[in-house]
Amino acid sequence: MTVAFPEGFLWGAATAAYQVEGAAAEDGRCESIWDVFSRQPGRIANGDTGDVAADHYHLLGADLALMSGLNLNAYRFSVSWPRIVDDDGAINRKGLDFYERLVDGLLERGIRPFLTLYHWDLPQRLENRGGWADRDTAQHFADYTQIAHETLGDRVHDWTTLNEPYCAALLGYGAGVHAPGRREPRAAAAAVHHLLLAHGSARSVIGDRNSVGITLNLYPVDPADPNDQVDVDAARRVDGLQNRIFLDPVLRGAYPSDVLGDLEALGFTDHIKPGDLELIGAPLDTLGVNYYTGHHVTGRPGGHTAEWIGSEHVHAVPRGLPTTAMGWEELPEGLFRVLNRLHTEYPRLPVHITENGAAYDDVPDAHGYVEDHARRWYLERHLRAVETAIGAGVDVRGYFAWSLLDNFEWAEGYGKRFGVAHVDFDTFVRTPKLSGRWYATVARANALPE
């Protein structure tokens, strides 16, 4: 039976600036925390860096043509803060010119641009002053937002302030596995609030002139033993730090009281000033949801060590499900659970699935073509979960496959491929995979096949 999606549903793909652009030292771009982090020995698999990435900066025309060929009617990308603001805080016109060409090229092809202001590439000059652990960084972000919006706000309707503040704060400042690579729990706690303050400040700058949202990576969190109160409390703590510490202030204007208790020893509330939560909780036009897997946790010894700041002695327990090349369990019904939770527990607003996809061990043929049946099946099962959520009343407006291209996959370097188009990192030729060709037929039909 064919599964049709609502009229006007958006079919897109997503990327992030540092993961695809390259041209790291060209046309006035300054250093970001990921430039510095990736050059530190042992940080990135195989010693890779994002200096060249997928060379999107030079191959913009090819990538625009690729999007058209995949029948996309939306494209989510991020703007690189260090590309458009120099180390003196002045506008870098050449950097802005690139994004103007990108946006104009999308509009010419009938592709709706979804712009993300922050996908983790903080200028290194600001990290040198404390980074997201410093409250002043939120004001710098507002200033940067003003520059980007004044230039592109007449053509870009859809604006996302932050991508996955969980990763930026807790993986970057707490676990140390993302840039800037700090293992400082108190700094991580401060970064959570300051990132959300930056979101609220950017939302205020944009005002009602365009649609504004934030993108959160959300997960269902299950106790390994639902009858064991130790496991139940472990799940509560992880849910608090993964989901509710971001959802609640953004959608309800307040942090969850139990999470405040969990973070009391880290001085979290010391960073909350009068008026902050009103700014952070200002009404949004949409919510972006990134979804990849779920968490299955225990508070008992055993399982895999997992680092959730403020949730010590919590471990991830495998469920025996199939996994992707990232080691993430495939849990498509978890996407329905996330969407249904938003619908039943939080104030309702339109939702876009801003990232969903999987890495597998792709093997291209001599022409660069990849028969990635596993990825195509992964996408279909998650899209069916989206359709089920829509049928249950969730206002899902669009879906963005992660990712348009194979790219620099953060700490994994180039060894993990998420693209629906294969990239030969020697020649930079792009070749749609089987999953990309399948996705193009779905986008054209606005429906899943029988």
For residues 356 and 331, what is the distance between their CA atoms, to the nearest angstrom? 12
For residues 121 and 168, what is the distance between their CA atoms, to the nearest angstrom? 9
For residues 354 and 290, what is the distance between their CA atoms, to the nearest angstrom? 5
Catalytic residue flag (residue 307): no
For residues 35 and 298, what is the distance between their CA atoms, to the nearest angstrom? 36
User: Tell me, what amino acid is at 75?
Assistant: Y
Buried b (16+ CB within 10 A) or exposed e, 116-147: bbbbbbbbbbbbeeebbbbbebbebbbebbeb
Q: How far is CA 306 from CA 49, 167, 189, in A?
A: 25, 14, 17
The answer to whether 336 and 291 have CB atoms below 8 angstroms apart is no
- The one catalytic residue in 164, 329, 330, 387 is 164
Catalytic residue flag (residue 278): no
Give the Cα-Cα-Cα angle 402, 404, 409 (nearest 5 degrees): 60
Q: How far is CA 187 from CA 128, 174, 241, 258, in A?
A: 14, 7, 15, 20
- The one catalytic residue in 355, 380, 387, 409 is 355
Cβ–Cβ contacts within 10 Å for residue 45, how many? 14
Q: Is the dihedral of CA 416, 371, 449, 5 positive or negative?
A: positive
* Cα of 27 vs its chain's centroid, Å: 26
Distance spanning both ends of the chain, measured CA to CA? 5
- The residues assigned a catalytic role are 164, 355
